[in-house]
Chain A
Amino acid sequence: METLSALAGGFAVALTPLNLTLLLLGCFAGTLIGALPGLGPVNGVAILIPLTFAFGFDATSSLILLSAVYFGCMYGGRISSILLNIPGDEPAIMTTLDGFPMAQQGRAADALAISGVASFVGATVSVIGLTLFAPLLARAAIYFGPADYFALYVLAFATIGGIAGVDPRKTLLSAALGLMIACIGIDPITGIPRFTAGNYHIYDGVDPIVALVGLFAISEILVLLEKRGKERAATIRVQSWLPDFRAIWSTRGAMTRGSLVGFVAGVLPGAGASLGAVMSYAMEKQVSGGGGTFGTGDPRGVAAPEAGNNAASGGALIPMLSLGVPGSGTTAVMLAMLVSLNVQPGPLLFAQQPELVWGLVASLYLANIALLVLNLPLIGLFTRLMMVPTWALMPIVAAVSFVGVFSISNSIFDLELMIMFGALGYVLRKLGVSLVPLVLGLLLGGDMERNLRRAMSISDGDWGILLSSWISVVLYTFTALFLALSVWLAIRDQRRAKLFPENRTSK
């Protein structure tokens, strides 16, 4: 009941004309950003953050705008997966498996409509879950002391890379680099400048927003330049946009199952939307068997991962809001925005700024409806906008990134720093190092250090305090188990690759 009245208060916040306008704009922009190849939720939201600052909206309105963009991207990502066979964002990879074959068979309208409805179902399930579970988690998190938070951050860094597919050393190295960058600047407790090389521009530390825009938006230009214009893919032309509604109804089971699996994956630290989509797809393949039609254009193979990735992206908001530990790349970017707006996510957020939390939750409900309405009839418009060639689009993205970063600080040094981060991001991506742990390290490094130092001050220098509460012991146990599992999986993959070199996946 308490939750319901809080939610009603949230709708009152979300339904103000300004917030409603921002919500609709965000949904539209998000779908477009998600659909355009080369722009995904992470770099889309990253570019928009500095601009939201510049407009001077309050924290609630900014968060509503960016969350609408985030959800919109999840809807938009499927459009380029289905029509171009290029995932618009990372979690949409699974949608290409059955979506693109469907489009090749002339069933693009069905695939788009099914994925649109599946996105709606998945996202709605996750927002309901967010409404129910986030306050509970926030209430539990009040018992966390500084040492427990330190343990939680350790767990977050160990798990952010996900379980399989990547070399765990590279993920951990990425997190360590982020934490190292977070140390740059004046130490807030003693006032000693650290690692500044006497350059007063970085006495305040590296602004996470500058790093984010560089790492994601600028490095994307370098990635695009690897291939010649003609080697990039062309869109499938579509005759009719009218879907077959029976086909949508027939995938209802796949949508429900995908949503539930995706939601659980999203809430778990480090799993995020990509794993949600993968798990939903794998489970659906197991459950419905499909007689080998999966991968050749089975509608259920479109519905399950789409429901899964949207459910996971909503689920990932739960640890971000209630613990301050993001579960995915985009929620890490949203955390950057909150921290920059002086909003500290965590258990106290629910008690101190209920209008922000519940306004956000209410606007997510509204965003889902808006996105479904936008996406079904306007799909033709989005696909036409998708035809904009990269050489015309990416320079504009670069210019907007510069304006955004320049508008925060008016400093040329920040622009140079952004370009440096762009080059760094490109090199790390070439090495197969995920950038998300780096961003997370940069964002949480300050808090992690503060909690460690606070804990050590409480214990007067006794390291035993780190293991003195059962919460931290449980968290470290999880961390150790997770690391052991991912190392084991990495070694197993390597052995398999040696035994069957022809089956090696490119990673």
Chain B
Amino acid sequence: MTTRLLGAVIFVIAALFVSGATSYDAPFGDVLGPAVFPIIVGIPAMILSASLVVWPGGEVAWPRPERLARQGASLAVLLGYAWLLRPLGFPLATFLLLALLGIILDGPAWKSAAIAALIAPGLWALFDKGLGLPLDVLGTWF
């Protein structure tokens, strides 16, 4: 079922891709123009994904709901890190990332936090001081 569903999703994306490509037109430039290659690529993608809808191969075993929730939580933490990296500054944001991801990965809470408290400033020192990649200590919120 999953294979069928995802095949259908990819088919729709590929179809949109091809129909989008047909609208690209340049009166100048080369013989082939910007539209042909995306169409050449998109049509096989449509055919292949359609074939997965009709004859799905292989079974997909999704993880248990509790695990799926953890996966969702990890994505949320990663996105939160991306958004908070500038406002909070590198050490603080990284501390939160390391501690929360550690806990989501079944690490003991206080140990994860302790390791994060050690590693986050350590990474900052390594990258900013040691390797010369500029990373803000304090973010725009401070």
User: Do A and B interact?
Assistant: yes
Per the bound structure, the CA–CA distance linking A176 and B46 in Å amounts to 9
Stretch with Cβ within 8 A of B (4 or more), from A12-20, A118-126, A128-136, A397-405: A397-405
Per the bound structure, the CA–CA distance linking A395 and B97 in Å amounts to 7
Q: Are B101 and A221 in contact (CB under 8 A)?
A: yes
- Residue interface bits B64-86, CB-to-A below 8 A is 1, else 0: 00010011001100110111011
Binding site of B, secondary structure by majority: helix, strand, loop or mixed?
A: helix
Report the minimal beta-carbon distance from B51 to chain A, rounded to whole angstroms.
6
Given known contacts A398-B78, A419-B75, A453-B37, is B26 in contact with A192 (CB within 8 Å)?
Answer: yes
Q: Which residue of B lies closest to A458 (CB)?
A: B31
Which residues of B, 1-38, contact A by the 8 Å Cβ criterion?
2-3, 6, 10, 14, 17, 20-21, 24, 26, 28-34, 36-38
Report the minimal beta-carbon distance from B137 to chain A, rounded to whole angstroms.
14
Q: Which residue of B lies closest to A390 (CB)?
A: B105
Stretch with Cβ within 8 A of B (4 or more), from A71-79, A225-233, A292-300, A301-309: A225-233
Binding site of A, secondary structure by majority: helix, strand, loop or mixed?
A: helix
Q: Are A192 and B74 in contact (CB under 8 A)?
A: no
Q: Are B48 and A402 in contact (CB under 8 A)?
A: no
Q: Which residue of B lies closest to A449 (CB)?
A: B37
A412 on interface, CB distance cutoff 8 Å: yes
Report the minimal beta-carbon distance from B78 to chain A, rounded to whole angstroms.
5
Q: Are B82 and A416 in contact (CB under 8 A)?
A: yes
Q: Are A222 and B94 in contact (CB under 8 A)?
A: no
Given known contacts A399-B97, A457-B30, is B107 in contact with A392 (CB within 8 Å)?
Answer: yes
A396 on interface, CB distance cutoff 8 Å: yes
Q: Are B33 and A430 in contact (CB under 8 A)?
A: no
Q: Are A180 and B41 in contact (CB under 8 A)?
A: yes
Out of B32, B45, B104, which one reaches A457, CB within 8 Å?
A: B32
Out of A190, A392, A394, which one reaches B26, CB within 8 Å?
A: A190
Per the bound structure, the CA–CA distance linking A169 and B58 in Å amounts to 12
Per the bound structure, the CA–CA distance linking A415 and B36 in Å amounts to 31
Q: Are A402 and B85 in contact (CB under 8 A)?
A: yes
Report the minimal beta-carbon distance from B16 to chain A, rounded to whole angstroms.
9
Interface size on B, residues (CB 8 A): 69
Residues of chain A within 8 A of B101, CB atoms compared: 221, 391, 394-395, 398
Report the minimal beta-carbon distance from B92 to chain A, rounded to whole angstroms.
13
Q: Are A169 and B60 in contact (CB under 8 A)?
A: no
Report the minimal beta-carbon distance from A188 to chain B, rounded to whole angstroms.
9
Out of B34, B38, B81, which one reaches A180, CB within 8 Å?
A: B38
Out of A172, A195, A218, which one reaches B20, CB within 8 Å?
A: A195
Q: Are A225 and B67 in contact (CB under 8 A)?
A: yes
- Residue interface bits A156-197, CB-to-B below 8 A is 1, else 0: 000000000001011011001101100100010110101100
- Residue interface bits B105-141, CB-to-A below 8 A is 1, else 0: 1110001100110011001000100011101000000
A370 on interface, CB distance cutoff 8 Å: no
Q: Which residue of A lies closest to B20 (CB)?
A: A195
Given known contacts A55-B131, A221-B101, A399-B98, is B106 in contact with A415 (CB within 8 Å)?
Answer: no
Out of A55, A396, A415, which one reaches B119, CB within 8 Å?
A: A396
Residues of chain B within 8 A of A432, CB atoms compared: 57-58, 60
B142 on interface, CB distance cutoff 8 Å: no
Q: Are A225 and B26 in contact (CB under 8 A)?
A: no
Report the minimal beta-carbon distance from A18 to chain B, rounded to whole angstroms.
15
Q: Are A176 and B41 in contact (CB under 8 A)?
A: yes
Report the minimal beta-carbon distance from B47 to chain A, rounded to whole angstroms.
9
Given known contacts A395-B97, A452-B32, A457-B32, is B105 in contact with A225 (CB within 8 Å)?
Answer: yes
Out of B26, B31, B67, B119, which one reaches A461, CB within 8 Å?
A: B31
Q: Which residue of A lies closest to B122 (CB)?
A: A396
A423 on interface, CB distance cutoff 8 Å: yes
* 7 other A-B residue contacts (CB within 8 Å) besides A179-B41, A412-B82, A432-B58: A54-B131, A169-B48, A180-B42, A192-B24, A391-B102, A453-B32, A457-B31
